Chain A
């Protein structure tokens, strides 16, 4: 990623130099051998997928149709697990929590990431430093240590409330221990990990030829107009990429909620993420069959939403062709 970004930004070549026939042949040869290279690089990932992931995926597909307590043999019960979901209030609660989280945190995070990418794209001094600093939360944001730190900062007597009390708020709430605020705090934690989409936005911004901005500005377009009519359309494939990726990530959020609520999804189920509920059922409540069914239902949800995303993309993503 970083080598991509280190290419001087504003030099765009226009077309390739004309070459002779022999040159074209050698290029074709290179292209053929080049076709194998990507697969070679992908091979370890595929091996992992086949041997480490595919087995469990197949097993969980089978288990989702069984009553399986972890101890003892699974017992085939057909679609019972899937029917059971619709009578399970905590299933609905976990869906609600997860959807709120995705719908609020992903757009916020992307907006924030784009905003900072645009500031950084203006050619600041020490860009590499800023880039690293802002990227850091993305690397550590999902970690246990950060979740624990977060719990301290946002506790009733935590750092944040210390500051709030100092500036005169009498009774600041417990940001992670009050059901009205706990989910919001986790959303902020997710927005804070804006670094990964930011770096991708930054790369995308640098691919937009300057001549469009020059042309727009000659036509009298201001900064806002340029943003709406040049930046957004040309960046739309990148926005789309980030949107899909972050949506999927957000659906899979687990660590933060697990640590911050001590594994309960509390207080009062206000942070009962879908994956956390799935985990509780499978590993805490000897209900691995149901947990597997939940996992597959999540796959359906995320797959469905991603498909919708792709269909919708036809109407707003501009690939320039």
Chain B
């Protein structure tokens, strides 16, 4: 460019070349994606007898969980000479991008935290190790595990994942917020969906919008929220064959509740709802004193309470009839699974067993990965939990007798359901689509996702 200025006549050529070259370079950067195949599964594998073993272990979670898990790793290493564990952690959303990419690169972590939505995604493609031999030879002891969920990591004859703990998706309310608004605190035994929305609308009205009665149903945990609703109607999100298990009418009915809540200001205006959702648990309405109720996992109560500063309580899901027969179930909070690429599966299985069955480990992690799946240890640590943790234990114990069986592992593609549901919920809230059309389109989209 220097040249152009000195002499107007000769320069343009170089400008032209510069422009073309720069553009070409930029163009080429547009299309670059890649990956290669994962390796084959190892069988026997390296153990500490063969020399020092190094394994990677991955999980998602909050800072509290990262700190506790690091403590677990340190303790395990100090108790097991020759074993080194590299921790690898992120938030939930990034975790899956990362796990998929590292698996594609043949570099999956040996021991990985898994979620119901993704177990089959990985297992069906041969990325997870069948743990049956390790269970049969006693390396992984499943005898003390909560029988409600012990089998939830199984696909046909194989077991690909072991639950870390249990939790339940339930309603969290702030009784003080109802009281301050002069609205009767819902009892949870017999409330109906209509009553939930009505009382919530009253709270909003009584406080002039300072406190909203409830938080939207379709965003955080929306897929589970709808699943519970569908199960209450005798349907399911996915049936045991991994097919869609609900009708468009049921989904439209559920969305109609959300729409009603939005229109009666039981929940905040849509754009606030979107922002609150993006803020995660920390920005939950009940955690920031801006809401009287919301749908949360039982293991999220400590985090919610920390923000709220008041005592929060659990309630069962409302029902259509008011008969207390909800579709709630105990969910394996998360799983441990072993990669089929792992070079030391025996060592990974021993670590897995230690994480769920050793008193030392459970004393450190407590209820962070759900109420411990080992029922003896669960009872043992219950008194040592803080107040919200104890409330979660009590609530789970109280409702367990009336709960339904947990659903089978959902099919491949189930990880997309929440995002699809969220998108249609937003479109409904912003008046871009009717609940009926949304339900039809949702089914079409989910069908293609799990195809």
Contacts and interface: CB of A to CB of B under 8 A. Distances in A.
Interface residues of A, number: 71
User: Which of A177, A282, A295 gathers the greatest number of chain B CB atoms within 10 Å?
Assistant: A177
A299 B24 CA distance: 11
Contacts of A57: 28, 31-32
A268 B430 contact: yes
Given A70-B104, A267-B426, A320-B12, A156 B26 contact: no
A98 interface: no
Given A7-B5, A71-B103, A60 B271 contact: no
Interface stretch (B194-202, B319-327, B392-400, B415-423): B415-423
A222 interface: no
Contacts of B449: 285
A47 interface: no
Interface string A167-201: 00000011011110000000000000000000000
B423 A59 contact: no
Given A245-B23, A248-B23, A71 B100 contact: yes
A15 B7 CA distance: 7
B274 A266 contact: yes
Interface string B26-38: 1111111111111
A19 to B, nearest CB: 15
Given A13-B6, A298-B30, A262 B93 contact: yes
Nearest to B275: A177
A303 B28 CA distance: 9
A262 B402 CA distance: 37
Contacts of B2: 4, 7
Given A207-B5, A299-B30, A178 B270 contact: yes
User: Which of B7, B33, B126, B127 gathers the greatest number of chain A CB atoms within 10 Å?
Assistant: B33
Interface stretch (A22-30, A134-142, A223-231, A286-294): A286-294
Contacts of B9: 320-321
B180 interface: no
A4 B3 CA distance: 10
B30 A252 contact: yes
A4 B20 CA distance: 21
A72 B430 CA distance: 40
B33 A288 contact: yes
A237 B379 CA distance: 76
Contacts of A60: 31-34
Interface in B179-204: none
A56 B33 contact: yes
A15 B422 CA distance: 68
A216 interface: no
B27 A70 contact: no
A263 interface: yes
B26 A55 contact: no
Interface string B219-261: 0000000000000000000000000000000000000000000
Contact of B23 (A244, A298, A319): A244
A95 B432 CA distance: 19
B281 to A, nearest CB: 14
Interface string A251-264: 11000000000111
Interface string A40-55: 0000010001000101
B434 interface: no
A107 interface: no
A302 B38 CA distance: 33
A53 B30 CA distance: 10
B93 A263 contact: yes
B272 A177 contact: yes
Contacts of A282: 33
A108 B93 CA distance: 34
Contact of A244 (B5, B19, B125): B19
Given A4-B2, A268-B426, A245 B271 contact: no
A80 interface: no
B100 A70 contact: yes
B19 A241 contact: yes
B375 interface: no
A63 interface: yes
A299 B27 contact: yes
A270 B275 CA distance: 15
A72 B37 contact: yes
A314 B5 CA distance: 22
A269 B423 contact: yes
B405 to A, nearest CB: 28
B430 A267 contact: yes
Contacts of A63: 33-35
Contacts of A285: 413, 415-416, 449
Contacts of A110: none
Nearest to A158: B275
A139 B61 CA distance: 32
Contact of B34 (A13, A56, A69, A263): A56
Contact of B26 (A45, A248, A280, A288): A248
B271 A4 contact: no
B97 interface: yes
A262 B31 CA distance: 24
A7 B2 CA distance: 9
B416 A12 contact: no
Given A179-B432, A320-B12, A302 B100 contact: no
Contact of A56 (B32, B38, B270): B32
Interface string B84-118: 00000000010011001101100000000000000
Contacts of B419: 264, 280, 284
A240 interface: yes
A24 to B, nearest CB: 16
Given A4-B1, A262-B93, A291 B12 contact: no
Contacts of A73: 37
B4 interface: yes
A98 to B, nearest CB: 12
B271 A178 contact: yes
Contacts of A263: 93
B169 interface: no
17 contacts: A7-B2, A69-B125, A71-B38, A71-B127, A73-B37, A74-B37, A176-B275, A177-B272, A241-B15, A266-B422, A267-B430, A280-B419, A282-B33, A284-B97, A284-B415, A302-B30, A319-B12
Given A178-B274, A237-B15, 19 more contacts: A49-B25, A53-B29, A57-B32, A59-B34, A70-B101, A71-B127, A72-B127, A177-B275, A203-B1, A237-B12, A240-B19, A266-B422, A266-B426, A267-B271, A267-B426, A286-B121, A298-B31, A306-B27, A320-B9
Interface of B: 1-2, 4-9, 12-13, 15-16, 18-20, 22-23, 25-38, 93, 96-97, 100-101, 103-104, 121-122, 125-127, 270-272, 274-275, 278, 412-413, 415-416, 419, 422-423, 426-427, 430, 432, 449
Sorted nearest first, the 9 A-B pairs with minimum C-beta distance are: A174-B271, A319-B12, A56-B34, A177-B271, A59-B34, A268-B426, A177-B274, A70-B104, A56-B32
